[in-house]
Structure 1
């Protein structure tokens, strides 16, 4: 069945466009303008076909590993020199370290305090946790400092102090030209205080700079950078104060031009709005992986890919199990995601790692 579907896709996506353009070109042999239009149309179709062909034949599966990781939520999962670090989460948890070559888990040092609700970023082979939170639901508290983990020495240190008027948690963080861009977040856990703030932090000078506010407030969302633009996709406007829970999931895609310090809003919207998702960048696509929403009790298993060139989403095969409060890694043409929660809310904690591959 799968081979037949792939065959139909190949015919529809690759062969028919060629035939259509060829036949049309014969009708307009003497019309140079129309010929140019047709060539442009063919180029666009070829680009879209190539983009849609990525991940053909890929599926998600749960893999067997040696050793265990500590089950956790509101953590992140990042790659440093080919080893994967499951870091942070509620409670003070050791770092769980995964070697994808051997499928073996080992254990690293505990952080100096509870750190959760952050998007980790890697800079000079160290893992930076910026605008994390601590304490329990619904009044999780933004931490005062950046926290940094060094895999080489398996040690933690306290980094720069975050300006008091810019402290928040559950923000998006992405690295661009050796500077950290911090987007949106929330002031008071899940309770209230969604913000549109955007800052850039320079680790060389310890300087924070305020940038143009984002069009949309959101928390529990990741930031992603492709080229000279930053993208905010997914997330929620948490509001336990008014008992709204996950009702305020965000479908809008916000785009920040890193050169001009200006925001715009994409035409496309996230097809399945949700928060607490993982994300990875693969070429010109941002993959939004899993998440949670008020739409369903079970965590989402959907994977939506946003192509920054075409400005469109497409749907990829779903995870084996829905999960949220997760991170994801793209490595060696495979995607990994691990841990998190199986239902909306805080339970059950999951003990599996999934891989998206052709194997």
Structure 2
């Protein structure tokens, strides 16, 4: 039965009087990554989004003008949909209603990519693209973290001028119903190339870097300028704070998911030549980090999906900088 391990977890909580940490530690320690032998056509890409909509996984954007690829976890197969209207890369897509929203994105070639002037909207059920509302000129940036909370889309941090300058700690909200854009309190640290995630009533900024860092003899010095601090915005208190414990292996452009009382942060790029394969686990209840089983292939520049108790990660780059993967991995119980 699907999710049987989660049903057992909930039963163990009731019987043991709420010993959540021990039960979930044992559960996650049994998880392993394996490559899925998928069928169908998929376009290799990186700096793309990977998001779930009604039980299917959408691989969208990335450098170049790519088709939308749709993965069905029931059949382990890929399907090809329409191409994006332009290059759309360096963004975190979110699902709102019957659409996938793309904001906080860049277009064009390295290193002078430009932030998109408009929000773009993709409708999975009709395979159609729509040019959405204009983003205020002074709030446009790419490589930002984007989430949905209580009917609004929130965008945090990012970089204004491609891979050259303008890394920031901006924080904004957009209401798709009214079109209202609101400037909010800045985050404690500047960062770009990172995923944001909401758990309960808190937004977590994990990973990323300061891509504005360059030296006369080393333009790519930004690869080493990762941001280890974890910034958290409490929507109820409307305040930011920084967790006492930092990300153990700081990287940029990793993927993050929530599972139980944990946030998993996977992959990314940084000092080494290859993309990282670490699966780093934050216990939200204690603020402590641990390391879980590593990915089969290190990758950066793509998202991650938690679907029915399994974690999926597809595409991305295996190297620091460029390179395109077509593979998809799943993180699940060792015997599944």
Measure the CA separation in 2 of the matches of 1:167 and 1:143. 7
* Aligned position for 1:251: 228
* TM-score using structure 1 length: 0.85
* TM-score using structure 2 length: 0.91
* Aligned position for 1:335: 311
Whether 1:282 and 2:259 are equivalent positions in the alignment is yes
Match runs of 1:173-192 below 5 Å: 173-192=146-165
Whether 1:161 and 2:134 are equivalent positions in the alignment is yes
- Shift of residue 56 of structure 1? 3.2
The 8 Å contact of residues 138 and 240 in structure 1, kept in 2 or not, is answered as: no
Which residue, out of 192, 212, 218, partners 2:191?
Answer: 218
Measure the CA separation in 2 of the matches of 1:91 and 1:231. 30
Match runs of 1:1-359 below 5 Å: 46-239=19-212, 241-242=214-215, 243=219, 244-294=221-271, 296-347=272-323, 349-358=324-333, 359=336
Measure the CA separation in 2 of the matches of 1:259 and 1:156. 34
The 8 Å contact of residues 119 and 134 in structure 2, kept in 1 or not, is answered as: yes
| Cα RMSD (Å) | 1.5
* Aligned position for 1:26: none
The 8 Å contact of residues 150 and 156 in structure 1, kept in 2 or not, is answered as: yes
Task: Tell which structure's C-alpha radius of gyration is larger.
Answer: 1
Unmatched 5+ stretches in structure 2:
1-11
The 8 Å contact of residues 60 and 69 in structure 2, kept in 1 or not, is answered as: yes
* Aligned position for 2:3: none
Measure the CA separation in 1 of the matches of 2:298 and 2:254. 10
Measure the CA separation in 1 of the matches of 2:129 and 2:269. 31
Secondary structure of the residue aligned to 1:231 is strand
Aligned length: 316
The 8 Å contact of residues 211 and 261 in structure 1, kept in 2 or not, is answered as: no
- The Cα offsets for residues 137-192 of structure 1, whole Å up to 9 and x where unpaired, read as 11111000000100100000011100011011110001001101110000111111
Q: Which has the higher contact order (CA 8 A, sep 6+)?
A: 2
Unmatched 5+ stretches in structure 1:
1-13, 15-41
The 8 Å contact of residues 213 and 225 in structure 2, kept in 1 or not, is answered as: no
Measure the CA separation in 1 of the matches of 2:297 and 2:233. 33
The 8 Å contact of residues 192 and 241 in structure 1, kept in 2 or not, is answered as: no
